[in-house]
Amino acid sequence: MLNKDRILRIKIWLMRFVELQLFLSLISLPLLIAWGLPFSLMSLVGNLIFSPFLMLFLTFSSLLFFSELLHIPNGWLAYCVEWIAYVWHRVLSIQQPSWLTGFVKLPMPVLCGIVVVSLWIVSRRCWRASSRIWAFSAVFTLLCAMSYISRGAVSPISTMSCNNGSVIVIHAYNKTALIDLGYMGRRASAVSWVNYTLAPQLIQLTGSLSVDYVIVLQPSSRTFEALASLCTKLRVHTVYMPWWQGTISRGAWRNFFIFKELLADNGGVLKRYGNWPLTIALSDKSSIRLLPLEDLITYHETRYTDTRVDCCIDKDTVTFYAAKHTEPLAKKKDNDHEKSIINNSP
């Protein structure tokens, strides 16, 4: 009889715990979606594990504090606190990037509706705990479905303002490509821009924490710093970067190797391009083509090939050039001559 009572109490406690966690998740999700922050799919299990550790840590920390005030020997208490912190750190090291997911930014009335519905469900005290759990689960499933459907409504080519220029985002056929024309490396606060603008907006736009391709047209020391920060925020699979000639500073080399190491640690690959065309396939009918031009781009003592980017999405093609791209003088004269003929024609 005693065992049955204990099992019943544990069952009731677990039901209340799950209900509370689902409610807190639904209340916090609209804020995470609005700010472009990821959501952990393991939060329910994590909180279940974290609660006992937190209780133990607070208990032994309080005993350690008062023992110091009263000058009581507390070596064993300090050891217990260190052991709890060590075990918790080991538990946190188990986490995987795949446990995090993102949501497409939904309309504000939908986000507010989630909060209102969640509060209404939790106020239904006449319902059984299991009924409220099922209701919370249904709302969460509906939210995930709406986010998934909204991914298909995203424009395949979009831009993000960056230092008087734009960073191009290609999102088509469940693949995401980020094209830096050279403006990202011009920002003195490139790392902050990646952390608080680029990464959240990418999550809001694609509903994913993964970037399949990053194409860099004008690499620099700040670009390497920004890419390293991007690798810590999102899962970057492949980075395309031009070969360069000349020398770069020692600090730039350091930032380059830091970025390269972070990319490799997360399973990413660095690929270099140069004086040959390169095609990145998004699907059978869509691709990104890198076409080298005749001129070289010079940055301090570094030179690399000027490259044109053709984004072919189905039957539409949009062309982009590097930020330092300059039209050849002969071609400018030809264009000016053609314009004068057109203007002077009867």
**For residue range 109-168, what is the model confidence (pLDDT) as tens digits?**
999 999 999 999 988 888 888 899 999 999 999 998 998 888 777 788 999 988 888 899
Do 144 and 172 reside in the same domain of the chain?
A: no
Task: Tell me the mean pLDDT in the region 188-209.
Answer: 90
**Is the confidence at residue 328, as pLDDT, over 60?**
no
Do 83 and 183 reside in the same domain of the chain?
A: no
Do 53 and 144 reside in the same domain of the chain?
A: yes
Q: Is the pTM of this model over 0.85?
A: no
Provide CB contacts within 8 A for 150, sequence distance 6+: 104, 106, 207
**Positions of E strands within 136-208:** 157-162, 165-172, 175-180
Whether residue 337 is contained in a domain is answered as no
Please tell me the total count of domains within the chain. Answer: 2
Whether residue 332 is contained in a domain is answered as no
**Tokens encoding 290:** 């890198």
> Distances in Å between the alpha carbon of 221 and those of 44, 181, 216, 272?
41, 15, 12, 17
Whether residue 340 is contained in a domain is answered as no
Do 180 and 313 reside in the same domain of the chain?
A: yes
Residue carrying the six token digits 């204990």: 6
CATH value at residue 239: 3.60.15.10
Report the amino acid identity of residue 222.
Answer: R
**Is the confidence at residue 337, as pLDDT, over 50?**
no
Do 222 and 147 reside in the same domain of the chain?
A: no
- Domain span at residue 61 reads 2-151
Whether residue 345 is contained in a domain is answered as no
* Pairs from 80-83 (Cβ < 8 Å, separation ≥ 24): 81/57
pLDDT at 1: 53
Instruction: Give the lowest-confidence range in 49-63, 202-216, 249-263.
Output: 49-63
**Tokens encoding 31:** 């804020």
Do 299 and 172 reside in the same domain of the chain?
A: yes
Whether residue 336 is contained in a domain is answered as no
Task: Tell me the mean pLDDT in the region 204-208.
Answer: 90
Q: What is the pLDDT of residues 235-254, one digit of tens each?
A: 999 999 999 888 888 889 99
Give 173's pLDDT tier (boundaries 50, 70, 90). confident
Do 88 and 199 reside in the same domain of the chain?
A: no
Q: What is the pLDDT of residues 266-299, one digit of tens each?
A: 899 999 998 889 999 998 889 999 999 888 888 7
Give 187's pLDDT tier (boundaries 50, 70, 90). confident
CB atoms within 10 A of CB 242: 23
**Is the confidence at residue 9, as pLDDT, over 60?**
yes
Give the residue among 174, 199, 172 at the shortest CA–CA distance from 184: 199
pLDDT at 299: 78
Residue carrying the six token digits 């020391």: 221
Whether residue 338 is contained in a domain is answered as no
Do 180 and 280 reside in the same domain of the chain?
A: yes
Cβ atoms 244, 305 nearer than 8 A: no
Q: How far is the C-alpha of 179 from the C-alpha of 182, rounded, in Å? A: 9
Do 138 and 174 reside in the same domain of the chain?
A: no
**Is the confidence at residue 332, as pLDDT, over 50?**
no
Do 186 and 299 reside in the same domain of the chain?
A: yes
pLDDT at 92: 67
Give the residue among 112, 152, 125, 120 at the shortest CA–CA distance from 136: 120
